[in-house]
Amino acid sequence: MAIQTVGIVGAGQMGSGIAHVFALAGYDVLMTDVNQASLDKAMALIDRNIERQVTRGKTTAEAKAAAMARIKTTLKLADLGPLDLIIEAATERETVKQAIFEDLAPHLKPHTILTSNTSSISITRLASRTDRPEKFMGFHFMNPVPVMQLVELIRGIATDGPTYDALLEVVVRLGKTAAPAEDFPAFIVNRILMPMINEAVYTLYEGVGSVKSIDESLKLGANHPMGPLELADFIGLDTCLAIMNVLHDGLADTKYRPCPLLTKYVEAGWLGRKTQRGFYDYRGEVPVPTR
């Protein structure tokens, strides 16, 4: 089946980025969220980000105008039912994702493929709550979506071959690279990345280094473009904690125990860039370490 129409559930950072790349690749996109303000903010963000690509010569003004015209928004989840492909990009909480798929169920066409952009939750378990586990996959984009080249393709235990092939074709059309991953907690990227971030938080917690020295050490000593604590703030400390909990619960290994300091920051509501405070304070002109 040739996929042409795409529904995106969630207009946050990931949802808007996914809408951006699909529209530029020629897909018709319908994006939904629970409130109009989120949709308006997402459309403004997409407009700015594609304009930046125009300025840098990565696309044209004509391509931008065509892409923006391909993106529509709605407050009604049911409106996505008839589309070829639906990508759930809501909050990283399993109960939220399950509720979305259950609400979509009565409105879906027989051919519709369901996917989740989850960074860690079991695809098999999510698929089991739908009427089409064979047409369900993990479709995990990296943040920021327009910049990052990788897409993890995660089969659930019931996912069939044609569904995988259809999504692989989509990734190629988007100009990105697919990484097939098995359905185990956090898949590939976050299985490796999140314990590193968690260890950096432990290094801070135990007083081995400061925020600045830890980030500078990894940037200059391991040639990472961002330090692990800076990256955690960019991802969102609540998301980092959620993924560590999925790893800890799913694999039952103490090496995945979330650092108490990470938990404390989340309890304080210091979630990183999106709340203006995390391991850095972003309220001034220059980010200042909070520890």
Q: What are the residue numbers of the active site? A: 119, 140, 152, 190
| 30 neighbors 73 (Cβ within 8 angstroms) | yes
92 is in an annotated binding site: yes
13 is in an annotated binding site: yes
15 is in an annotated binding site: yes
244 is in an annotated binding site: no
Q: Rounded to an integer, what distance in angstroms lies between the CA atom of residue 50 and that of residue 200?
A: 34
Strand partners, 113: 85
97 is in an annotated binding site: yes
14 is in an annotated binding site: yes
Contacts of 261 (CB under 8 A, 6+ apart): 201, 202, 204, 205
33 is in an annotated binding site: yes
Q: Rounded to an integer, what distance in angstroms lies between the CA atom of residue 116 and that of residue 14?
A: 11
Phi, psi of 223 (to 5 degrees): 60, 30
Element (H, E) at 141: strand 136-141
Sign for the CA dihedral angle at 187, 191, 193, 194 comes to positive
SS3 state at 93: coil
Among 262, 268, 138, which Cα is nearest to 194's?
A: 262
Q: Rounded to an integer, what distance in angstroms lies between the CA atom of residue 78 and that of residue 82?
A: 9
119 is in an annotated binding site: yes
Quick check: bond before 144 cis, omega within 30? Answer: yes
Residues that constitute the known binding site for NAD(+): 10-15, 33, 92, 97, 119, 143, 274
Residues that constitute the known binding site: 10-15, 33, 92, 97, 119, 143, 274
